[in-house]
Structure 1
Amino acid sequence: MSQSTAVDEKKNSVILTSNLFSPHIGGVENSLLYLAKAYQEMGYEPRILTSNIPRAGQAPLALSESVNGTAVERYDAQGKGMAPTVLRSFNNALKLYRRHSETNNARLFVCRYHYNQLIASLAGAKPTVYLVPGVIKFQNAPKYQQSAGLRYRLRWYYHHFMQLAALKRATHVAVFSKNMAAQLRQIGFKGTIHLTKPGVDLERFKPLPSEEKRERRIDLGLTANPNAHVFLCVGRCVGVKGFHLAIDALATGPENGELWIVGDGADMAELKEQSRKLQLEHRIKFIGATQTTETYYSLADTFVHSSLYEPLGQTVLEALASGLPIIAFEADDATGVNTASRDLMNDSHCVFVAEPAPVSLANAMRDMAALDQVSYESRSALNRKHAEATFSWQKLAQDLLAIANVKDLP
């Protein structure tokens, strides 16, 4: 272990943990980074504990390093020897968490994944706040997948029961939405549920004037149409994100509409084939995974939150901060849409579509593309102000300390 990541017992550390972290890309991964920055500013020494699972096709990640000034320590999730990988991973994670919990300098463990919460509790880590990213029974339900065979269903059950165990063993449980709290009750969790809100980086995600964004996206080769109205989807390319609905909607949506999909995932090939069959290849751009999503938020015109299930929606916060008008499906048990969009915004910030149908979505896209400049800029300014007034990583960092009853530093 290098000196930069060795445990310093004289400091008050906050442990932030999940199964994946940078260079992996996602809302949970980003939350660890921003919480670390907030805790540094508050005088704590944040440490991120995670696995060394690499991105597809890459070598395993370093077991220790510094990322943006925060010490990152990884347990070997592949390991060596005769034991099955899952047992090696479990043992390595247990030893890492136990080492940190036994130093007595960790004021708080914030866990963002059920596996890590369970291991941390078994290692004796206290207090822990399990900041639930999603309820697996609903988020990973087979009905939201393009294809879900027996193997998928077995993994779904396995992770569902592991999450139940993590909830039971956590010192405290927190969620980002009333919607998610209700879901925890539905799966039988009877403990106290704390409600808090995430933050968004207002410096990284910010609006650009309409004329400037049109010029820049042409200069960057993102579109050749100066009059294009660019709709943006951001997230994993999996069925639950509803990108297939956005593609179908574009086919009958505004004639000057273009769609950018930022992210990768298991359904990428199917989505590309769908766009080809609809003869939309020239109007759809698959950006792939990127560390600079803010570029595409700043250059798009409207954000399409096409998710069928979303426990919160970090991408919604990024769209609000970027001053993008938003289109989203209305949550409704009858239509199968289960999102927390109403926890984040109201009709002033978003056009809510009554049903997850391409025709309905296409109508909303046409209406948005037809807005005059004054109406568009009014919506944009309102969404940016809402993000500035409502979502703060510093407030979340303070909330988590308060939930765990951690006293302020002397």
Structure 2
Amino acid sequence: MSCVLLSSLSYEGNYGGVENSLRYLAKSYKNKSKNVIILSSSSTSKKFERVSVEDDITLVRFRRTFSINKMVNIILFPLVIIDLIISLFIIKRNYVIEKSICRNQFVCFFVNLFFRRVNVYVAPGFSHRQSSKTNMTLNSPTLAIRQKVHMLFDFAALRLSASVYVFSENMKEQSEELVSMFSFRKNFTKVKITKPGVDKMVFYPVDLEERDKIRSKLELPSDKIVLLCVGRCVKAKGFDYALQLLVKNKSTHLIIVGDGPELETIKNHAKTINISDQVTFVGACFNTAEYYQASDYFIMSSVYEPLGQTILEAISCGLPVIAFRNNVMTATYEIMGDMGVIYIDKPVDIDIHKVSLCLSNCNDIKYQDLKMQALARSYLFEWDYLADELLS
């Protein structure tokens, strides 16, 4: 039985960019009459099952934790590797893998031991940038060690996989940086650029009447220009910059959907600059579509972002994007070009305030034009396109 193997460290089926990509790729391959296997660690909310079937997709799990005690789990980490290898043996013995697609560098190393010739690594990011002190809020004394280990697995995934895909030019540049750290090779042509998709059955625009109903349901102001940020609360997301959009514009309201180590710091910053009444903190949320549909603009405030799946979700809901043009490492221009986007020159207060005062409400002709441009850009991103490219 010929199958497509999709693998990552975790798969809950409804959370996070990497998990979403596995779910949508699986759906696309099922529509193409392919048999699909998903390899990931055990679900945090269910009893461990090595092999199960959900939505006609075979799930093969390995144990990632063996205790509720973190220190015990660190000591028992070798058992995670053994359990992962057991799962790979089961897959190797029972299925013919036509193509393997992996989205986690650690899992990728072991997948390559079994399926290197057909394994494609679709990189979610690279640790030397993503987990740097400037982008993450981590004060652990083991941070440097963990980052080095992650970098080694990043390099192994690049070096050993049959092919490698990334989602942006800046990710390709990062892959070249990483290779130069571990290898004398000057040319590394294995890495190709592609783009993910977005589920337009979930993320789609609504009319003003429906928007107002959603705002009422979510207890959001009906008479404000509503701005939206979505993502994990870490330094790289730049949510403190998003707050500055409200300082000199009392007609705006900001929604922040996400949780993380910086959340309390962001809340305190909102109090310090006297805009707490203009911000709604939602926390972690699995059904973000309504927040996109309730908003007027999406803010890509990140100073570092490998791609930005949230931009794709936002423009599929017809939201114009506000983003930085310079002094950041993001893929916003690759996604948007000059269509459906308002650029802030640099992440400094004077530039942010300048743009804030120029924001139009939903009835303005300029706003409607931006909205249609954003929606038009969303049609360039389809999961089926990615699924076909990874099989080719």
| TM-score relative to the length of structure 1 | 0.87
Q: Tell me the residue number matched to 2:212.
A: 214
Q: Tell me the residue number matched to 1:169.
A: 160
Aligned partners of 1:165, 1:35: CA distance in 2, in Å?
Answer: 24
Q: Is the 8 A contact 2:66 2:73 kept in 1?
A: no
Q: Tell me the residue number matched to 2:273.
A: 278
Asked if 1:106 is matched to 2:97, the reply is yes
Cα offset for 1:293? 0.8
Q: Aligned with 1:204: secondary structure? A: coil
Q: Aligned with 1:282: secondary structure? A: helix
Q: Aligned with 2:219: secondary structure? A: coil
| Per-residue Cα deviation, 1:303-361 (whole angstroms, up to 9, x for no partner) | 0001111111111111111100100111x4xx3x1111111111122112111123322
1:62–1:172 Cα change, 3 Å = same
1:23–1:391 Cα change, 3 Å = closer
Asked if 1:196 is matched to 2:186, the reply is no
After superposition, the CA RMSD in angstroms is 2.2
Q: Aligned with 2:357: secondary structure? A: helix
Give structure 1 stretches of 5+ with no counterpart.
1-9, 403-410
Aligned residue runs from structure 1 range 336-355, under 5 A: 337-355=328-346
Aligned partners of 2:273, 2:49: CA distance in 1, in Å?
Answer: 44
Residue of 228, 232, 235 corresponding to 1:232: 228
Q: Tell me the residue number matched to 1:269.
A: 264
Q: Tell me the residue number matched to 1:33.
A: 23
Q: Is the 8 A contact 1:101 1:126 kept in 2?
A: no
Q: Give the length in aligned residue pairs.
A: 381
| Per-residue Cα deviation, 1:143-185 (whole angstroms, up to 9, x for no partner) | 1234545322222222112211221111111111122112211
Larger mean CA deviation between 30-39 and 202-211 belongs to: 202-211
1:307–1:78 Cα change, 3 Å = same
Cα offset for 1:366? 2.7
1:43–1:256 Cα change, 3 Å = same
Aligned partners of 1:65, 1:290: CA distance in 2, in Å?
Answer: 27
1:205–1:107 Cα change, 3 Å = same
Asked if 1:50 is matched to 2:40, the reply is yes
1:20–1:125 Cα change, 3 Å = same
Cα offset for 1:43? 0.9
1:23–1:397 Cα change, 3 Å = closer
Aligned partners of 2:284, 2:378: CA distance in 1, in Å?
Answer: 24
Aligned partners of 1:90, 1:163: CA distance in 2, in Å?
Answer: 17
Asked if 1:180 is matched to 2:178, the reply is no
Aligned residue runs from structure 1 range 243-262, under 5 A: 243-252=239-248, 254-262=249-257
Q: Aligned with 2:15: secondary structure? A: coil
Residue of 78, 90, 103 corresponding to 2:65: 78
1:226–1:371 Cα change, 3 Å = closer
1:124–1:110 Cα change, 3 Å = closer
Cα offset for 1:61? 5.8
Cα offset for 1:373? 2.4
Aligned partners of 1:394, 1:262: CA distance in 2, in Å?
Answer: 28
Q: Is the 8 A contact 1:237 1:268 kept in 2?
A: yes
Cα offset for 1:106? 1.2
1:401 alignment partner AA = L
Q: Tell me the residue number matched to 2:113.
A: 122
Q: Is the 8 A contact 1:198 1:393 kept in 2?
A: yes
Cα offset for 1:284? 1.0
| TM-score relative to the length of structure 2 | 0.90
Aligned partners of 1:376, 1:283: CA distance in 2, in Å?
Answer: 21
Give structure 2 stretches of 5+ with no counterpart.
181-187
Cα offset for 1:260? 0.6
Q: Is the 8 A contact 1:64 1:74 kept in 2?
A: yes
Q: Tell me the residue number matched to 1:325.
A: 320
Aligned partners of 1:315, 1:285: CA distance in 2, in Å?
Answer: 18
Q: Is the 8 A contact 1:98 1:125 kept in 2?
A: no
Aligned partners of 1:288, 1:23: CA distance in 2, in Å?
Answer: 19
Q: Aligned with 1:142: secondary structure? A: coil
Residue of 356, 372, 376 corresponding to 1:365: 356
Q: Is the 8 A contact 1:14 1:107 kept in 2?
A: yes
Q: Tell me the residue number matched to 1:396.
A: 386
Q: Tell me the residue number matched to 1:3.
A: none
Q: Aligned with 2:84: secondary structure? A: helix
Cα offset for 1:289? 1.6
Aligned partners of 2:29, 2:13: CA distance in 1, in Å?
Answer: 21
Aligned residue runs from structure 1 range 300-319, under 5 A: 300-319=295-314
Larger mean CA deviation between 45-54 and 94-103 belongs to: 94-103
| Per-residue Cα deviation, 1:335-393 (whole angstroms, up to 9, x for no partner) | 3x1111111111122112111123322322332245752221221122112212x1111
Q: Tell me the residue number matched to 2:370.
A: 379
Q: Is the 8 A contact 1:231 1:302 kept in 2?
A: yes
Cα offset for 1:285? 1.0
Larger mean CA deviation between 129-138 and 93-102 belongs to: 93-102
